Structure 1
């Protein structure tokens, strides 16, 4: 069973132009090596039959539902973009029609949960290494744009459980990825980089398996040839019986018995004698080649262990990348640096959408405790 990948990014006004150009391939040149422009014509949008202006489409959705005359904040989250995909092996088991049905079914989940009227786009990319969908959900609720309430932490965790179950009921063999506590969310670039590395590792592993199978077949063929050579040496066919015998007198006055055989038998025996030498040489060469193949297999087995270690290190590295360093730094900025009331107000407004790190809060509590102990000791000294 394959893992489902569902990752979300918050998009503000300044982000819309960039995601529109990327999603709709509105460029002549690009730096993304994963994009095969010869396949870009296969891409499609589940909700729009032609390219759209993302800003106009999203603002229309907001204005049609917005209650009240209060203006939208400049730094408001206008759309939550979800990237929906799985591993390469999963899509290799689907044809084009099944692939489209997979993404259509995933989109249905979001339609039922947040309303079809709030889905701005569902761009499916088939021109990259692994098929995936960029799904734009406008976070409208009760006439208000409120991303923090629509996609809060509880809801994000629920989606990681509910979406795989929804797809599984529809006949797709997927399950949720690692629980949130075991791996933090990666950015899109980090996710694609890690996915590219894992795909490369999978290719190496696949080539290694093919090579081992090829060597095993060669080994079996050599063993059959060795067995045939030995059987030939042993000579399955019994020689013809002598047709008679006679006594031959030697010069030294002694005699010896000589067995008479047909000429054809003599020729056959002489052929066996000559062939035996060739077979023995070939047998020795094959045994030497067999040892060499065993050595190659041993090297491949060691390479397999190294690749396995590389995969483990890659997974650890990915976990460290997403360990929450940014959130921890934000916690330090909020807790340890205190400015004027006006500065604090501006800082809180800028950082209101950024979650603090539990580890950072624990650091701050330890610092506060030590600070109080220091001040208490200093007071006692006075």
Structure 2
């Protein structure tokens, strides 16, 4: 039986791409290959919704980000279907748990902002989202995947440190097998002779069925192109929104400083008013004392004047 450890990684270069991937992971959009009755069997790490996971992502994002930077890495870890299905639940969980620990050691636990174990699909697997920061806290995907052969070395290291402990081995290194994109598959059909394309790609099928496949793929590619265009528009809108948010934050900070200055001036004015009122009260007391003294002097003067009058 083939028992391979499987590790794949995908670069996510925009918030739109991260958002779309998270919605799939959280099953917040239709997922035809997932059984809705098994949704409760999935396990979530770090967030309970796309919104929470995006908050965790943004909280870890550096203040300065290059325009072409890879914002996140999406890892998918599983094993060949027959090997994964041959393990019981405890063995599956142990393998996926060790895989998560390996990723945290590789990238730093603080850079892993979300993870999920999906058991609602035929083959259980682990999806992990990582912010590719280097030792100085900058986004640096090149450190992890930039060098030639880095991905092959990472798969070897994963198989040696995690896979072997669970009876799994590395896939065939240097294999010519590749994942074929829809666009490449469609191009192959279009460029193949009609009489050989069915045999080469789809086996022996009717020409009418091949035409239906071509039409379906063509419609899919048109839709894919439209989606990419919308993603570009959304990226631009997000950039504009971020710029407006930054301006609003600056205006808010300036308004806060102005309010603090005004509050300080109002406090000083109240203090001066209290001092002035205190001085006025003191002046009134002194003025009353002066008036009392004048009155008393008049009284004594009248007495003296009366005593100095000649007696008749």
Using structure 1 for the length normalisation, give the TM-score: 0.44
Q: CA deviation at 1:176?
A: 1.0
- Pair 1:58–1:75, CA change in 2 (3 A): same
* Alignment size in residue pairs: 182
Aligned match of 2:149: 154
Q: CA deviation at 1:33?
A: 3.0
Q: Deviations over 1:252-279 (max 9, x none)?
A: xxxxxxxxxxxxxxxxxxxxxxxxxxxx
- Pair 1:122–1:22, CA change in 2 (3 A): same
Aligned match of 1:48: 46
Pairing 1:15–2:8 present: no
Q: Deviations over 1:62-84 (max 9, x none)?
A: 33xxxxx6x31344211111111
Q: CA deviation at 1:103?
A: 0.7
Q: Quote the Cα distance in structure 2 between the aligned partners of 1:156 and 1:113.
A: 13
- Pair 1:130–1:186, CA change in 2 (3 A): farther
Q: Quote the Cα distance in structure 2 between the aligned partners of 1:93 and 1:74.
A: 45
Query: Could you say what secondary structure the match of 1:140 adopts?
Result: coil
Q: Quote the Cα distance in structure 1 between the aligned partners of 2:81 and 2:160.
A: 20
Greater C-alpha radius of gyration: 2
Aligned match of 1:166: 161
Q: Quote the Cα distance in structure 1 between the aligned partners of 2:28 and 2:43.
A: 14
Q: CA deviation at 1:55?
A: 2.7
1:104-123 map, 5 Å:
104-123=97-116
- Pair 1:7–1:112, CA change in 2 (3 A): same
Q: CA deviation at 1:43?
A: 0.7
Aligned match of 1:317: none
Q: Quote the Cα distance in structure 1 between the aligned partners of 2:36 and 2:151.
A: 33
Higher relative contact order (CA 8 A, sep 6+): 2
Contact 2:78 2:84 (8 Å CA) reproduced: no
- Pair 1:128–1:158, CA change in 2 (3 A): same
Contact 1:8 1:82 (8 Å CA) reproduced: yes
Q: Quote the Cα distance in structure 2 between the aligned partners of 1:126 and 1:36.
A: 9
Pairing 1:91–2:92 present: no
Where structure 1 has 5 or more consecutive residues not aligned to the other structure, the ranges are 64-68, 191-309, 314-382
- Pair 1:33–1:25, CA change in 2 (3 A): closer
Q: Quote the Cα distance in structure 1 between the aligned partners of 2:179 and 2:153.
A: 15
- Pair 1:122–1:85, CA change in 2 (3 A): same
Q: Quote the Cα distance in structure 1 between the aligned partners of 2:88 and 2:164.
A: 19
Q: Quote the Cα distance in structure 2 between the aligned partners of 1:140 and 1:185.
A: 28
Query: Could you say what secondary structure the match of 1:144 adopts?
Result: coil
- Pair 1:186–1:111, CA change in 2 (3 A): farther
Q: Quote the Cα distance in structure 2 between the aligned partners of 1:112 and 1:61.
A: 17
Aligned match of 2:123: 130
- Pair 1:131–1:51, CA change in 2 (3 A): same
Where structure 2 has 5 or more consecutive residues not aligned to the other structure, the ranges are 184-199, 204-312
Q: CA deviation at 1:21?
A: 0.7
Q: Quote the Cα distance in structure 2 between the aligned partners of 1:49 and 1:143.
A: 22
- Pair 1:101–1:186, CA change in 2 (3 A): farther
Q: Quote the Cα distance in structure 2 between the aligned partners of 1:131 and 1:161.
A: 21
Q: CA deviation at 1:160?
A: 1.2
Q: Deviations over 1:323-364 (max 9, x none)?
A: xxxxxxxxxxxxxxxxxxxxxxxxxxxxxxxxxxxxxxxxxx
Using structure 2 for the length normalisation, give the TM-score: 0.53
Q: CA deviation at 1:166?
A: 1.2
Aligned match of 2:35: 36
